[in-house]
Amino acid sequence: MPSKIDYVDEGWPVVTGCTHCAAGCQHCYAARLASTRLKHHPHYKGLAVNGRWTGEVRCNEEVLEKPLHWRKPRRVLVPLSGDLFHETVPFEFVDKVFAVMQNAKQHTFLVLTKRAERMAEYLEELCRKSKTWTVRFDLPLCNVWLGVSISNQDDADRLIPPLLECPAAKRFVSFEPALEDVDFTE
């Protein structure tokens, strides 16, 4: 799904839906879109009402292989309207997402979460599991950037330390909506 975010070419809706977990969630653009313009789209139908998530989260297996068919290199937001590291998304599904990202090296994947601790837990487990699998993940994946979405100092203090623990080609912070000044010096 093409994106209007200036640093993203494509959104990959492998996970849709979410639950509010931080102050910035009160202003979630994805929930607003899911409850208005996208409310009849099969991936979003029933996931948000009046700009608020209902709490249902979907893993959309049918779009998993899409990036493998895109020829032109793209910057891809993962996921477009949800959180790959939501508590209800099984790590087995996240394994499939990472396998696609590993095999679609022509693209740059920007994985954005508000659940950095779960992302760090997953990547630690992936490193351990990968040693016993036939298909190995060479972490960090050179085409995968890991990021956290923050809105205030509390988010920064809670989410940035676990992000820094994650093996990543690049790490980034999305500071939106900016609800207060944040001191990044520490």
Q: What is the pLDDT along the chain (186 residues), one digit of tens a residue?
A: 555 677 799 999 999 999 999 998 988 989 999 999 999 999 999 999 999 999 999 999 999 999 999 999 999 999 989 999 999 999 999 999 999 999 999 999 999 999 999 999 999 999 888 777 766 788 899 999 999 999 999 999 999 999 999 999 999 999 988 999 999 987
Query: Strand, helix or coil at 6?
Result: coil
Annotated domain spans of the chain:
10-175
Q: Which residues neighbour 185 within 8 Å (Cβ) at sequence distance 6 or greater?
A: none
